Each structure stands twice: as C-alpha cells, then as structure tokens.
C-alpha cells in the first residue's frame, strides 16, 4: 500500500456495523509497513450520514472499511480520494487480522464480493450511469 495510511472502521460495539448508517463509532488505525497501530476512536452520537462523511474526510482517512453502504455514498467518498471497502462483516479483531493478511474477501457479507468482483467497482469503471 506504500506509505502510511489512515484506516477507518465503521463499528457498532465490537463489530463492524451492518450498515454504515448505524455505526455508533469509528475506530481509526494507522497502517504502515503492513503493521497496524491504533490511532483513535470517535463516538458518533448522531446517525446523520452527511456528518459521518464529513468526519471521515476531516480525519484524513485513506481507507474506509464498512458493512453495507449505498452506491451514492461510496461514490461521494471515492470522489474525496477515500478507498471504500464495503460489505465486510466481523469483529474488529477479525477485520484487522484479515487486513494485515490481505484476506478481507473471506469476511464478505453473504452474497457480496470484496475486491475486483465488487459490482460498485464495475460501475465505477464503466462510468456513473453504466455507459462505457
């Protein structure tokens, strides 16, 4: 991944939130030379999605790992330069371990794909409205 990256996990309790809208807090980590270091926790008293997006940007997040998220929200975050890895399920410990081992695909929510097969990535390559 080259250089230091800030990773944000959208959590509910000790797990990733099933959908980002229900995240109760963000956990931040620094990824450097394939080592992961805690970088903070942010409590989210509001369920306001635009506020969460603004907070992610203001924290300098490079990578967001989350459960369910809308295509429009992914697009907004990508336009801000944030890599979104959606449709991930598991505990914080499982996600960090899989991230380090490059096996996040094993934590994909049932019926979802993480990585090159992700339908959101396909749409992004074809253009906003599915045209080539």
H or E stretch at 72: helix 71-79
In the chain, where do the E strands start and end? 5-12, 15-16, 25-32, 35-43, 63-65, 83-85
In this structure, what are the phi and psi dihedrals at residue 64, rounded to the nearest 5 degrees? Answer: -110, 125
Note whether residue 106 is domain-resident.
yes
Residue 20 has pLDDT above 90, yes or no: yes
Domain with 92 in it: 5-126
Note whether residue 132 is domain-resident.
no
pLDDT of residue 80: 93
Note whether residue 35 is domain-resident.
yes
Note whether residue 131 is domain-resident.
no
Per-residue pLDDT tens over the stretch 35-90: 999 999 999 877 788 888 889 999 999 999 999 999 999 999 999 999 999 999 99
Note whether residue 81 is domain-resident.
yes
Note whether residue 80 is domain-resident.
yes
Per-residue pLDDT tens over the stretch 9-19: 999 999 999 99
Note whether residue 45 is domain-resident.
yes
Q: How many domains does the chain have?
A: 1
pLDDT of residue 128: 43
Residue 115 has pLDDT above 70, yes or no: no
102: CATH: 3.30.420.130
């Amino acid at each position: 991944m080259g250089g230091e990256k800030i990773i944000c996990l959208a959590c509910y309790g000790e797990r990733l939130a099933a959908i980002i809208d229900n995240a109760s807090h963000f956990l931040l980590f620094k990824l450097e030379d394939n080592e992961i270091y805690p970088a903070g926790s942010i409590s989210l008293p509001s369920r306001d999605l635009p506020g969460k997006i603004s907070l992610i940007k203001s924290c300098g997040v490079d990578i967001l790992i989350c459960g369910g998220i809308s295509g429009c929200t992914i697009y907004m975050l990508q336009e801000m330069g944030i890599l979104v890895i959606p449709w991930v399920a598991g505990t914080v410990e499982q996600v960090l371990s899989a991230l380090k081992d490059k096996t996040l695909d094993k934590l994909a929510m049932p019926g979802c794909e993480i990585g090159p097969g992700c339908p959101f990535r396909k749409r992004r390559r074809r253009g906003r409205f599915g045209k080539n």
